[in-house]
Amino acid sequence: MKLLVIIILQISFNFVKCYPYRLYEHINDRYRFFSTATVYKYVAPVVRFPESNCEVLQIWMVVRHGTRFPSNNIIANISELHNYLSINKMTSQLKNEEVDKLNLWTFKLKDEHAEKIIEQGYNDMTFLGRNIRNLYKDIFKDNFNSQDFKVIVSPETRCKESAIMFLNEAFQKVIDENELEKMDLFDARFNLVNRVKTMVTDFETNFINGPEIHKVIENVARILGLDNLLDFNIVKAMHDACRYQKAKDINFDSPWCAVFTDDDLKVLEYYYDLKYYYSHGYGNMNNVQESMAIIQDLINNFDNKDQNKSGPKGVFYFGHTANVFSVIVGLGYAKDTIHLTDTNFASMKDRKWRTSYLDPFSSNIRAVLYKCGNDIKVTFFINDAPMYVEQYDCTLCSWDSIKQLLDSQYDQLIQIDK
Ligand SMILES: *[C@@H]1O[C@H](CO)[C@@H](O)[C@H](O)[C@H]1NC(C)=O
Ligand SMILES: *[C@@H]1O[C@H](CO)[C@@H](O)[C@H](O)[C@H]1NC(C)=O
């Protein structure tokens, strides 16, 4: 069984390689990579990749909802930050105006706002919908109908609203919510029951208690001019105040961002990378195994188009972080040769597993099936950047060879299962 696991690791590692990050817009001020609360436009490429001239047979896409308010737990913890606002200008290392801004800081979110989609979320979805319409005009020239377009949406309001905004823009028509199919709670492809994974690993606990986080906590105390160190949960709430404000209003920095250095923000980003690596990523083989249902759905849809010349032109699934990570690990994307742990923050500086890039708000994976002459080909895109398939040195790749790779991974997982 162990041997099988090792074989899978090698195959998927060779499968797809991350696109080099240098293609992305460089932000010349503060560090703004905030794991799953990152702004989409900070990680989507500025360069538009030319699409091939091939005929598009099908688009298959998994989308995370647009920008939303934080969860009720995070709202509760941010609300507590009012207790840390008597900042002494003499001992603090903040500029006077930064202290003034912090002292004026107010936070009005309540439980009822928790996880609601916000205006920026509508903007995200409108942007994605317009983009896809412009890229694949032939696909969207027909009216929306359930024959040609298969849309399945998580029952959460933010996902339904995301789907509607996206489709309205893609079809230039108001789509009725009742036309959309709802994800079944027990549909293995979407794994909604097991979507939120709260298990805390030793890696996470040890990292929180380790030297990197300790230094962040010391720095925050020094910058705020405090005599005592704060609890990690309070520092985390300050980070949440910073990142959720940025997500809500791209042109505005929360005054709480000023209590972190860019290096501290990188440590906190790693904290989340580590957490998701084990909850949803390659740190736990169950995650890879669970992803096979959604990958099999992709294979079935493309095979049906390829072999039977039937099936929809577009398949769109609107869900959550877990759904996007599921496709990522099922494809073997952003897979490092070394596991992320609590002790290798420094040596994993250039890691592929960067959740800010993988799963910002409105993250999405799109697979496009093309007919190029007599050949059937496929390109995968993550957040609008094409994935490079290392094994075959291509971005526009033969569907047969990609399928072989995916099938072989799938077969081996089935064997483990037995
Ligand atoms: C909020 O703070 C409490 C302790 O004050 C902590 O147990 C909890 O994990 C925090 N929640 C989040 C989402 O950070
Ligand atoms: C092709 O169509 C047949 C008959 O409807 C179906 O049984 C088969 O599963 C389809 N093949 C694929 C690859 O979907």
Average pLDDT over residues 264-291: 96
Whether the per-residue pLDDT at 26 is higher than 90: the answer is no
Compute the average pLDDT of residues 81-97: 91
């060779």: which residue's tokens? 14
For ligand 1, the distance from its centroid to the CA atom of residue 238, given in whole angstroms, is: 12
Question: How far is ligand 1, taken at its centre, from the CA of residue 233, in Å?
Answer: 6
Task: Give, for ligand 1, the residue of 69, 73, 204 to mutate: max count of ligand atoms closer than 8 Å to Cβ.
Answer: 73
Grade residue 20 by pLDDT with cuts at 50, 70 and 90.
very low
Between these two residues, 51 and 190, which has the higher pLDDT value?
A: 190
- For residues 61-65, give the mean pLDDT: 98
The band of 279, judged by pLDDT with boundaries at 50, 70 and 90, is very high
Taking the C-alpha atoms of residue 237 and residue 268, their distance in angstroms, rounded to an integer, is 12
Q: How confident is the model at residue 47 (pLDDT cuts 50, 70, 90)?
A: low
Give mean pLDDT, residues 402-416.
73
* Ligand 2 centroid to residue 202 C-alpha, Å: 46
pLDDT of residue 142: 86
Cα gap 9→339, rounded to integer Å: 11
Question: What ligand 2 atom has the least distance to the C-alpha of 307?
Answer: 13
Q: Over the chain, what HEC string results? A: CHHHHHHHHHHHHHHEECCCHHHECCCCCCCCCCHHHCCHHHHCECCCCCCCCCEEEEEEEEEECCCECCCHHHHHHHHHHHHHCCCCCCCCCCCHHHHHHHHHCCCCCCHHHCCCECHHHHHHHHHHHHHHHHHCHHHHCCCCCCCCEEEEECCCHHHHHHHHHHHHHHHCCCCCHHHCEECCCCCCCCCHHHCCCCCCCHHHHHHHCCHHHHHHHHHHHHHHCCCCCCCHHHHHHHHHHHHHHHHHCCCCCCHHHHHCCHHHHHHHHHHHHHHHHHHCCCCCHHHHHHHHHHHHHHHHHHHHHHHHCCCCCEEEEEECHHHHHHHHHHHCCCCCCCCCCCCCCCCCCCCCCCHHHHCCCCCEEEEEEEEECCEEEEEEEECCEECEEHHHCECCEEHHHHHHHHHHHHHHHHHHHC
Residues in contact with 341: Cβ distance below 8 Å, sequence separation at least 6, in sequence order: 203, 274
The pLDDT of 296-304, averaged and rounded, is 97
Q: Confidence band (pLDDT; 50, 70, 90) for 29? A: confident
Q: Is the CB of 308 under 6 A from ligand 2?
A: yes
**Per-residue pLDDT at 110:** 94
How would residue 14 be classed by pLDDT, with cut points 50, 70 and 90? very low
- pLDDT score of 415 more than 60: no
Q: Of all protein residues, whose CA lies closest to atom 4 belonging to ligand 2?
A: 308
Phi, psi of 200 (to 5 degrees): -100, 125
CA pair distance 302, 295, nearest whole angstrom: 11
Burial class (CB within 10 angstroms; exposed 0-12, middle 13-18, buried 19+) of 371: middle
- Per residue in 183-225, pLDDT (tens digit) is 999 999 999 998 888 889 999 999 999 999 999 999 999 999 9
Ligand 1 site, residue 162, Cβ cutoff 6 A: no
pLDDT score for 79: 97
CATH of domain 38-70+124-194+287-417: 3.40.50.1240
Taking the C-alpha atoms of residue 68 and residue 248, their distance in angstroms, rounded to an integer, is 8
Average pLDDT over residues 105-131: 95
Segment 105-124 mean pLDDT: 95
Task: Give the per-residue pLDDT at 19.
Answer: 42
Which of 22-31, 175-184, 386-395 shows the lowest per-residue confidence on average (mean pLDDT)?
Answer: 22-31
- What mean pLDDT comes out for the span 263-275? 98
Torsion sign (Cα): 400, 369, 22, 262 = negative
Q: Which ligand is nearest to the CA of 300?
A: 2
Domain limits, the chain = 38-70+124-194+287-417, 73-114+197-283
Top pLDDT among 44 and 235 is at 235
pLDDT tens digits, one per residue of 227-257: 999 999 999 999 999 999 999 998 888 999 9
pLDDT at position 413 over 70 = no
Averaged pLDDT score across all residues of the chain: 90
Highest mean pLDDT among 22-26, 59-63, 143-147: 59-63
State yes or no: pLDDT of 37 exceeds 50.
Answer: yes
Say how many Å lie between the CA of residue 308 and the centre of ligand 2: 6
